[in-house]
Amino acid sequence: MGLFGTDGVRGKAGEKVTASAALRLAMATGIYFKPKAKTKKILVGKDTRRSGYMIENAIVAGLTAVGFDVIQIGPMPTPAIAFITENMRCDAGIMISASHNPYYDNGIKFFDNKGNKLSKDIENEIAKIYDNSDLIEASQEVEKTIGRSKRIDVAEGRYIVHIKNSFPKELTLSGIRVVIDCANGAGYKAGPTILDELGADVKVIGNNPSGYNINETCGAMHPEVLANAVREYRADLGIALDGDADRIVLVDENGNIIDGDKLMGALAIYLDKKGKLKNKKFVTTIMSNKALDDFLKEYGIETFRSAVGDKNVATLMREVDTNFGGEESGHVIFSDYSATGDGILSGLQALAYMVESGKRASELFNPFELYPQVKQNLIVTEKVPLENIKGLDKLKKEIDDANIRHLFRYSGTENKLRLLLEGGDKKELNRLMDKSIEFFKKALS
């Protein structure tokens, strides 16, 4: 089992993410955290996949075997796990989810006692323990030191109150109609509850999880469904979550999908106007459109770029000392309230901006024009290191000479090579993308 990818462990449940692998991984995680443990408690949550039952029980067995007490809180958004882990003084948190992937995949994400995702160094240490059969065997507890588990149902209330407190207390959503698509996933209870308690007229879709329909023709992966619902209900805003609710896609009152870079640019300006954008700095990834950097620069806001992944965004946010960042794909981080991306929280901040400004979503969240981009995914059988591909430097130089930004990278979770070109001349973009596709197909065949 190749352990950690871009965001924890992920793969087909029962094939890569098996019960035996989850058991061993939980034991390795417990062994790593044991010397640092203060409460000997680890929080475990999950999304709505059927395979979550299998993986959850295996994780509980593994953690209790090495002496940890486990708190199980059931289906809950990933950012809720991050928050409750710190709030309940747990030594670590574990979320069982494959995020936006289909139901047949599953994954395991890890958080430290502050709700931060684990660094690559820590993941490597856990991977070493995972491979050390002698250490795992010797670390199993006996008699009174074996751990125990308990399931609690009140933890979600803590998260709901916390997220509601991020919404300005002097504001209400009364008179605002919102459609929320919960992707039949982990946010199917918390999302609608929070909007309803803040006074919104809420229309809910994608809130009937079966164990097999998470992300299926719904949620952030299929925002066109939300767009149709917004038009049907004449809503002021549409909010689409993904399977574990750490990601958001918004739809304006006309049923148009709001670009992620435009959303982050507008929210950065909103925070800055309120004096709440720390050090006038913003963090995004190498995937974001350069037009976002240029737009924020006009307001004196400096943009920093990390590698892909909201974990990398959060790490760079701490390094440059700011409180706002995100990915164009919908992971948006308001670190004053959450250590990781939170779709429900991000939706509330967008709604707060709408209420305070009195303007419609179509006006607020379209603050600049994007530079043209073309993207392509190529399926690969082997992830040959890009630096080892002969002739790639020559191709990149040709692209650079055309004043076009390029990004070639492998997916962290799939056997795909992702290609992105960005520049002012659409015809030249398409020509160079065709050339790049032809080059990689030949080079990787």
- The catalytic site residues sit at 99
Distance between CA atoms of residues 284 and 328, nearest Å: 8
DSSP letters of 219-232? Answer: GGG-HHHHHHHHHH
Taking the C-alpha atoms of residue 15 and residue 178, their distance in angstroms, rounded to an integer, is 39
Tokens of 170: 């002097």
Report the 10 Å Cβ neighbour count for 412. 15
Query: Rounded to 5 degrees, what are φ and ψ at 49?
Result: -70, 145
For residue 403, the tally of other CB atoms under 10 A from its CB is: 10
Nearest to 68, CA basis, from 88, 38, 47: 38
Residue from 441, 435, 382, 383 nearest 406 by CA:
435
Q: For the chain, what is the largest distance between any 2 Cα atoms, rounded to a whole number of angstroms?
A: 71
Strands, sheet with 302-306, edge to edge from the N-terminal-most edge strand: 302-306, 281-285, 324-326, 332-334
Residues 6 or more apart whose Cβ sits within 8 Å of residue 384: 443, 444
DSSP states of 131-159 as a string? T-HHHHHHT---GGGS--EEE-SSHHHHH
For residue 215, give the amino acid letter: N
275: left (phi over 0), alpha (psi -120 to 50) or beta: left
Task: Give the Cβ contact number of residue 258 at 10 Å.
Answer: 22
Q: Which residues lie closer than 8 Å to 83 by C-beta, 6 or more apart? A: 115, 158, 159, 162, 338, 339
Nearest 5°: the CA angle 71, 77, 80 is 60
State the virtual CA torsion across 201, 205, 206, 207 in degrees, nearest 10: 50
Tokens of 122: 């820590």
* Length in residues, the chain: 445
Strand 405-410 vs strand 416-422: parallel, antiparallel, or unpaired? antiparallel
For residue 170, CA distances in Å to 4, 18, 271, 348 come to: 44, 49, 17, 14
